[in-house]
C-alpha cells in the first residue's frame, strides 16, 4: 500500500515541467485512456485521461483531470461544500499505467485518427490547460469531472469537426440508475449516495450527459466521427487493451449490509412497540431517539441542499422521513406529558411517510431499498404514538 501512495505522489510531482513548449512530430499519437473500476467507493466509476505519445521527441505523457491536493487549506470543508478545486495533472505514462496495474484495474486505449494539425490542436489545448494559472477547475460529479473533460477538451480543440451521435446509448437511464450500475445497491456506499443526492438525479440523462462516466466516454468516442481533409471518418483508429485485470468477486457481506442492519433496527422498534401496547405505556426514550436521529439526518440533508454548491443534492425528498424539525422537537416527545399539538405533528409525520411512497412510485425520487424495513417500523410507531397520546389527552380532560 505504501508503494501505491509513493507512486501516486510521483505522478503528481513537477507537472509544470511538462507544461512548456513542445513541438509534436508527425508521428505523434493522441489517445484516450479508460481505466476500470477499483475497490474503493471513489474508484468505482473508473477513470479517464489523455495520452500523448511522440517517440520521435521521446515524449510519452498523460494528462489527468482527476487530481486534487490534500494540502489544500480547509480541504474537508471545501469538499463537503462542493467548493474543492480539482486540477489537470501531467505525468509520465509508464508510472501512470503501472499504478493501475498494481490496483488490478483494466486499462484500455483508444488511439484517435487525427491528422497532424488536429493532433497539435488537442496537444496545445492540453498544454495551455496545464499551466499553473489554468490547471484548476471546480469539480462536479455529473457535469465537470475527469471523464467529461475528455469530451469537452476534444470539442473545444476540434470544434465542429467532431460529431457525437446518440447511438452509443442503447437504453437511456436516469443519473441515479447510472450510478447504481457501478455500486451494489445493498452497500453502505450506495446507501450514503441515495440519502445525500436528491430528485434532480432521478431524471433521464441525455446521451451527452451519460458521459459523466468513463465507460460512456469510451462508448461515445467509439461512435464519434471526425471531419478532416480526408473526409468524415471514425474518431477512433484503433482500440487496445493495455492491461486486462483479474476479475475478483465483490463480497457484499449480508450480515454487515445496510438491509440487514435496518431490519434489526426495524425489528427493535416493532418489538418495543408491541411491548408498549401490552404494558399500555410508551417508551419515551425510543421516541426521542427516533426524533433526534431523523431530525439530525434531515438537518444535514438541508445543509447539503441549501448551503453547498453540489448540484446533485438539491430537491432531496429524503427529508420527508428525515424531517429536520424533529431535531428541535425531540425534547418534547421525550416528556411524560407532551404538548397537545405534538399529536397532530406526528400525524403530519405519518403523512410525510405516505408522501415518500407516493414520490417513490410516481418516479419523482427513488429511495434506498434498505430503508424499507425502517419506513414500515416508523409508520407503525407513529400510528401507535398517535393513538397513545390521544388516549392520554382524553384521560386528562
Assigned domain for 282 exists: yes
pLDDT at residue 394, as a whole number: 85
pLDDT at residue 68, as a whole number: 79
Please check the confidence at residue 7 and state whether its pLDDT lies above 70: no
Please check the confidence at residue 341 and state whether its pLDDT lies above 50: yes
For 205-215, what is the mean pLDDT?
97
- Which residues are paired to 219 by β-bridges? none
Assigned domain for 66 exists: yes
Is pLDDT larger for residue 98 or for residue 81?
A: 98
Band the pLDDT of 21: cuts 50, 70, 90: low
pLDDT at residue 397, as a whole number: 67
Tell me how far CA of residue 90 lies from CA of 24, 57, 285, in angstroms: 16, 17, 56
pLDDT at residue 131, as a whole number: 95
List, for residues 154-171, the tens digit of each pLDDT value: 999 999 999 999 999 999
pLDDT at residue 325, as a whole number: 98
pLDDT at residue 4, as a whole number: 39
Distance, in Å, from the CA atom of 340 to the CA atom of 330, rounded to the nearest integer, reads 15
List, for residues 303-320, the tens digit of each pLDDT value: 999 999 899 999 999 999
Is there a single domain that holds both residue 212 and residue 98? yes
Percent of the chain with pLDDT over 90: 82
Assigned domain for 175 exists: no
Helices (H), 280-340: 284-306, 326-333
Mean pLDDT of the chain: 91
Is there a single domain that holds both residue 239 and residue 266? no
Please check the confidence at residue 375 and state whether its pLDDT lies above 50: yes
Is pLDDT larger for residue 365 or for residue 16?
A: 365
Is there a single domain that holds both residue 219 and residue 290? no
Please check the confidence at residue 396 and state whether its pLDDT lies above 90: no
Please check the confidence at residue 217 and state whether its pLDDT lies above 80: yes
**Closest by alpha carbon to 388, among 268, 265, 278, 266?**
278
CATH code, domain carrying 15: 3.90.1720
Is pLDDT larger for residue 1 or for residue 250?
A: 250
Q: For residue 118, is it left (φ>0), alpha (ψ between -120 and 50) or beta?
A: alpha
pLDDT at residue 15, as a whole number: 47
Is there a single domain that holds both residue 126 and residue 23? yes
Band the pLDDT of 81: cuts 50, 70, 90: confident
Q: Count the helix, strand and coil residues of the chain and give each as a percent rounded to the nearest 5.
A: 55, 15, 30
pLDDT at residue 323, as a whole number: 98
Tell me how far CA of residue 297 lies from CA of 7, 33, 196, 301, 320, in angstroms: 38, 39, 10, 6, 11
pLDDT at residue 228, as a whole number: 85
Assigned domain for 174 exists: no
Is there a single domain that holds both residue 237 and residue 339? no
Kindly provide the residue ranges of all beta strands, DSSP E only, lying in 148-301, ordered along the sequence.
162-163, 225-228, 231-234, 236-243
pLDDT at residue 247, as a whole number: 84
Count up the domains in the chain and report the number.
2
Is there a single domain that holds both residue 130 and residue 230? yes
Is there a single domain that holds both residue 277 and residue 211? no
Q: 48: helix, coil or strand?
A: strand
Is there a single domain that holds both residue 150 and residue 262? no
Please check the confidence at residue 334 and state whether its pLDDT lies above 80: yes
Is there a single domain that holds both residue 238 and residue 258? no
- The model's pTM: 0.88
Is there a single domain that holds both residue 126 and residue 222? yes
Assigned domain for 184 exists: no
Task: Tell me the residue range of the domain where 118 lies.
Answer: 2-169+207-243
Is there a single domain that holds both residue 310 and residue 226? no
Is there a single domain that holds both residue 274 and residue 165? no
Residue where a domain terminates, one of 183, 215, 243:
243
Assigned domain for 102 exists: yes
Band the pLDDT of 76: cuts 50, 70, 90: low
Q: Among 12-21, 131-140, 182-191, 349-358, where is mean pLDDT lowest?
A: 12-21
pLDDT at residue 6, as a whole number: 36
Amino acid at each position: 500500500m505504501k508503494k501505491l501512495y509513493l507512486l501516486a505522489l510521483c505522478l503528481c510531482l513537477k507537472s509544470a515541467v511538462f507544461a512548456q513548449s513542445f513541438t509534436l512530430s508527425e508521428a505523434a499519437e493522441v489517445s484516450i485512456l479508460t481505466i476500470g473500476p477499483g475497490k474503493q467507493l471513489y474508484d468505482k466509476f473508473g477513470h479517464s485521461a489523455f495520452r500523448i505519445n511522440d517517440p520521435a521527441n521521446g515524449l510519452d505523457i498523460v494528462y489527468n483531470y482527476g487530481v486534487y491536493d490534500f494540502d489544500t487549506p480547509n480541504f474537508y470543508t471545501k469538499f463537503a461544500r462542493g467548493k474543492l478545486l480539482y486540477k489537470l495533472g501531467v505525468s509520465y505514462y509508464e508510472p501512470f499505467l503501472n499504478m493501475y496495474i498494481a490496483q488490478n484495474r483494466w486499462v484500455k486505449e483508444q488511439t484517435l485518427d487525427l491528422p497532424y494539425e488536429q493532433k497539435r490542436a488537442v496537444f496545445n489545448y492540453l498544454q495551455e490547460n496545464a499551466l499553473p494559472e489554468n490547471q484548476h477547475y471546480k469539480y462536479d460529479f455529473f457535469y465537470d469531472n475527469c471523464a467529461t473533460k475528455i469530451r469537452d477538451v476534444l470539442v473545444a480543440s476540434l470544434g465542429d469537426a467532431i460529431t457525437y451521435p446518440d447511438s452509443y446509448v442503447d437504453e437511456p437511464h436516469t443519473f441515479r440508475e447510472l450510478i447504481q450500475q457501478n455500486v451494489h445497491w445493498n452497500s453502505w456506499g450506495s446507501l450514503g449516495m441515495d440519502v445525500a443526492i436528491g430528485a434532480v438525479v432521478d431524471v433521464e440523462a441525455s446521451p451527452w450527459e451519460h458521459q459523466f462516466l468513463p465507460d460512456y466516454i469510451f462508448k461515445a468516442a467509439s461512435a464519434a466521427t471526425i471531419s478532416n481533409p480526408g473526409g468524415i471518418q471514425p474518431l477512433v483508429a484503433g482500440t487496445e487493451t493495455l492491461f486486462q485485470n483479474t476479475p475478483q468477486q465483490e463480497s457484499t457481506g449480508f450480515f454487515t449490509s445496510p438491509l440487514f442492519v435496518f431490519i434489526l433496527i426495524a425489528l427493535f422498534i416493532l418489538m418495543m412497540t408491541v411491548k408498549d401496547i401490552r404494558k399500555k405505556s410508551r417508551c419515551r426514550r425510543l421516541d426521542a431517539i427516533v426524533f433526534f436521529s431523523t431530525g439530525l439526518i434531515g438537518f444535514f440533508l438541508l445543509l447539503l441542499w441549501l448551503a453547498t454548491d453540489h448540484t446533485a443534492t438539491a430537491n432531496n425528498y429524503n427529508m420527508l422521513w428525515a424531517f429536520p424539525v424533529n431535531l428541535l422537537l425531540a425534547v418534547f416527545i421525550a416528556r411524560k406529558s407532551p404538548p397537545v399539538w405534538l399529536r397532530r405533528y406526528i400525524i403530519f409525520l405519518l403523512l410525510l411517510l405516505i408522501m415518500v411512497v407516493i414520490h417513490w412510485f410516481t418516479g419523482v425520487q427513488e429511495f434506498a431499498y434498505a430503508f424499507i424495513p425502517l419506513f414500515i417500523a416508523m409508520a407503525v410507531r407513529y400510528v401507535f404514538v398517535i393513538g397513545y397520546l390521544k388516549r392520554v389527552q382524553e384521560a386528562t380532560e
